[in-house]
A and B are shown apart, each in its own frame.
Chain A
Amino acid sequence: MFAICGYCQAMVLRKGADLENLGKISEIMEDGSPIRLGMGGKFKGRDFQVAGRIQLRWSDGIWNEWYLLYADGTPGWLGEGSGMFFATFQRDVPAGIVPAFDSLVAGQEVTVSGKPFSVSWKETSRCVSGEGELPFAVAEGWESPSIDLIGPDGAFVTFDYSDDPPSLYVGEEVKIESLALDASTAVPEKVRKVAAESLSCLSCGAPYNPHGKDAASWGCPTCGAVHEVLAGKLQKIYENLKPPGILPGLELGMVGRFEEIDWTVVGIQRRNSTWQDSNAQGGWATGSDWDEYLLWNEQNGYRWLVESDGHWSWIRTVPANLAKGQTAVLPGAPKRSEFKHFSSYHAVTTWVAGEFYWRVKAGDRNAIVDHVSPPWVLTRETDDRESVWSAGLYMDRAQILSAFERGSNLVGKGKIKLPPPPNTIGANQPNPYAAQSKAMRGLLWKFLVAAIFLHILLTAILPSGVVATGDFLVGTDTSAATSRFAVGPFKFESGRGNVEVILEANGLDNDWVAVDAVLTDRATGRTWSGGKEISRYSGYDSDGSWTEGSREATLRFDGLEKGEYLLELETGRDPSKTALQPLSVKVRRNASSMSWLLLALLVVCVVPVLAIWRSMGFETRRWAESDSASGDDE
């Protein structure tokens, strides 16, 4: 067992009662970690104690590997970085199982034990310090090349290439609250040599007030000098950025209340979208700018607030590569499968102010893929070293104003000057018409079925059938025998209703018959009258045979009541014709009419159709901004 002396920082090898001094190591850098040496805790019901820590530096900051000793003697590790925690255990694997370090890149899909994982981080870190007991010796500058992979449902794997052959660590992301850390057994802290003092910009002297203790860089909001931050102190300027003409709406130090927690704006990053275009200068076309605000809370770490064209999203990193996950991305958020690819592009940092937990630089370029399931957006950002997923929830301007007006009053900031409301549709902006459209679609089908069912039911149960018939021969003269006919009388037994008079001129060809009909209620004298022409023509022309008209016509009389009726017909014919034309007449009671059904269906449909059309129009405008509109969809 190796141990680092808490007083002199000497690393010793303990063999029974003997101690071998292996040299000194630097003191732990203050990093704001909630974990302390000696703390007790539980992971999945198993008690552990924090036995030691290795503190490592990677290109963008500091992270910790806490060495845990479980009650049953099993060793484990708790990785801590960027406010996230991963509990892992070493697994014995045969040599050659772990892929070579150079064979994997950030974002690459890898199958581990039959499960899909993707490379979330690839980096060679260097040890800067350590404390407590460790299972192996470390020294300042000791290199630890490693690759992290994230799998479904928070599964986590690390390939550690500091061992030969490489080691495999398997575990999962954990919430710090779930570890039930007990500070009563923690080793008392030494007074840190690095005080949380106010510092000044190395260029213009503007004050630097550290917030997050794991800050790795700070951009001076006054002069644009970007500093490296180490152990809470400004070290050196590594970049000078010209402040933008239009400043972001929110200022550093403002406090906003989200999720019932006060968050402080500690960093602002302006980015610009860019994509490869052979016609553009340098092969890259540039799009619009947007601002990303890094917010910090001492207990809860970091969140992002992103403003683009007046659209706001509240964003946090998500612990797992959810590309193949089956569970909700975040509590209250949809499953991964419900997100649709929206756009792929690159983001380039153009200006920064405030502090960041990585070494931020102008020109930092990340490949970004946005998936949306409004009001959520799921984003993957990938660069050479890491692949990070984040999930964002759309917020409207009023929510942002409300959140910051209260918080900013607390810190004496001026009036909030947010960008104007958007005049575009955001990728994850909720469709204000969607709920109404969905509700109306649900009602539409019910009403359609109800209307058709009721119509069919009434048609079926109402008394109907032929109540009178007549067959006549129609002549061309005006004599009563060949031009005036009567059908009936017939009785209408009960209730209200209608009759349909079906006129059929069998054998009619290239001829016509005109019919005037008068229906009379013999008791009241009320009459219904109407006329129809029955005509049918046929022949041949250059296009072939043709026919026009019909040998049948129908008259309909509505509003009949109980009584006895007589139908009288007067006919007319082409005087040039000589042959008598047969005319068959049928009187049918309660013929069904589709007219009221069609009117009802029109009324039932028109409002939902308008609602659906309005909702679809919103979605069309949304997706017009996506890759699918430009044909670049995945």
Chain B
Amino acid sequence: MTKLYALLAAGSIGFMGYQDWRGASMFGTRAQGEGLFGSKSAGMMRGPDGRLIRNHSYNHK
């Protein structure tokens, strides 16, 4: 069990190192059509006239 844990932990650190080395983040936006976790498109909403509008309102406003 301890050996299995050591392998798992070492593997996760190695994977982290690889992702850090290639500058990837878990939730960063990927290029169109790529990626598993990152959003492929996160553009703003548009109003009926095609203008960008805000996505949400705040508690006080």
Partner-B contacts on A (CB < 8 A)? 436, 439-440, 443, 447, 450-451, 454-455, 458-459, 462, 478, 495-498, 510, 512, 514-516, 521, 526-533, 535, 537, 539, 541, 546, 548-549, 555-560, 570-572, 575, 590, 592-593, 595-597, 599-600, 603-604, 607-608, 611
**B32 in complex: contacting residue of A478, A498, A526, CB < 8 Å:** A526
6 new A-B contacts, CB < 8 A, other than A496-B22, A537-B60, A593-B25, are A514-B54, A527-B32, A529-B32, A572-B44, A599-B16, A603-B8
A440–B28 CB distance below 8 A? no
Subset of 11 A-B contacts with CB under 8 Å: A443-B9, A454-B13, A454-B20, A455-B17, A530-B29, A533-B56, A541-B60, A558-B24, A570-B52, A596-B24, A604-B9
Q: Which residues of B contact A478 (CB under 8 A)?
A: 50-51
Partner-A contacts on B (CB < 8 A)? 1-2, 5-6, 8-10, 12-13, 15-17, 19-32, 34-35, 38-39, 41-44, 46, 50-56, 58-61
Complexed CA–CA distance, A222 and B36 (Å): 79
A527–B31 CB distance below 8 A? yes
A516–B52 CB distance below 8 A? yes
State the Cβ distance, B35 to closest chain A Cβ, in Å. 7
A603–B12 CB distance below 8 A? yes
Q: Which residue of A lies closest to B21 (CB)?
A: A458
Q: Which residues of A contact B46 (CB under 8 A)?
A: 572
**B34 in complex: contacting residue of A533, A537, A559, A599, CB < 8 Å:** A559
Q: Which residues of A contact B23 (CB under 8 A)?
A: 462, 496-498, 558, 560, 590
**B61 in complex: contacting residue of A548, A555, A558, A575, CB < 8 Å:** A548
Complexed CA–CA distance, A458 and B10 (Å): 17
A447–B13 CB distance below 8 A? yes
Q: Which residue of A lies closest to B52 (CB)?
A: A572
Q: Which residues of A contact B31 (CB under 8 A)?
A: 521, 526-528, 557, 559
**B53 in complex: contacting residue of A514, A530, A532, A604, CB < 8 Å:** A514
A443–B52 CB distance below 8 A? no
Q: Top 3 closest A-B pairs, CB basis?
A: A572-B52, A593-B25, A497-B23
Complexed CA–CA distance, A229 and B48 (Å): 109
A537–B13 CB distance below 8 A? no
A530–B43 CB distance below 8 A? yes
Q: Which residues of A contact B12 (CB under 8 A)?
A: 451, 599-600, 603-604
B16–A596 CB distance below 8 A? yes
State the Cβ distance, A463 to closest chain B Cβ, in Å. 10
State the Cβ distance, B15 to closest chain A Cβ, in Å. 7
Q: Which residues of A contact B1 (CB under 8 A)?
A: 436, 611
Q: Which residues of B contact A549 (CB under 8 A)?
A: 58
State the Cβ distance, B42 to closest chain A Cβ, in Å. 4
Complexed CA–CA distance, A602 and B44 (Å): 33
**B54 in complex: contacting residue of A439, A516, A535, A541, CB < 8 Å:** A535
State the Cβ distance, B23 to closest chain A Cβ, in Å. 4
A600–B44 CB distance below 8 A? no
* Given A436-B1, A458-B21, A604-B13, A595:B27 Cβ within 8 A: yes
* Given A447-B10, A528-B29, A529-B29, A597:B60 Cβ within 8 A: no
State the Cβ distance, A103 to closest chain B Cβ, in Å. 57
Q: Which residues of B contact A458 (CB under 8 A)?
A: 17, 20-21
Complexed CA–CA distance, A608 and B4 (Å): 12
B24–A572 CB distance below 8 A? no
Q: Which residue of B lies closest to A453 (CB)?
A: B13
Complexed CA–CA distance, A439 and B1 (Å): 10
**B42 in complex: contacting residue of A455, A510, A512, A529, CB < 8 Å:** A529
Q: Which residue of A lies closest to B44 (CB)?
A: A531
Complexed CA–CA distance, A335 and B48 (Å): 82
Complexed CA–CA distance, A597 and B14 (Å): 10
Q: Which of B9, B21, B42 has the most CB of A within 10 A?
A: B9
Q: Which residues of B contact A548 (CB under 8 A)?
A: 58-61
B44–A537 CB distance below 8 A? no
A443–B54 CB distance below 8 A? no
Q: Which residues of A contact B25 (CB under 8 A)?
A: 498, 556, 558, 593, 595-596
State the Cβ distance, B29 to closest chain A Cβ, in Å. 5
Q: Which residues of A contact B59 (CB under 8 A)?
A: 548
**A529 in complex: contacting residue of B16, B35, B43, CB < 8 Å:** B43
Complexed CA–CA distance, A548 and B61 (Å): 9
Q: Which residues of B contact A597 (CB under 8 A)?
A: 16, 20
Q: Which residues of A contact B29 (CB under 8 A)?
A: 528-530, 555-558
Q: Which residues of B contact A527 (CB under 8 A)?
A: 31-32
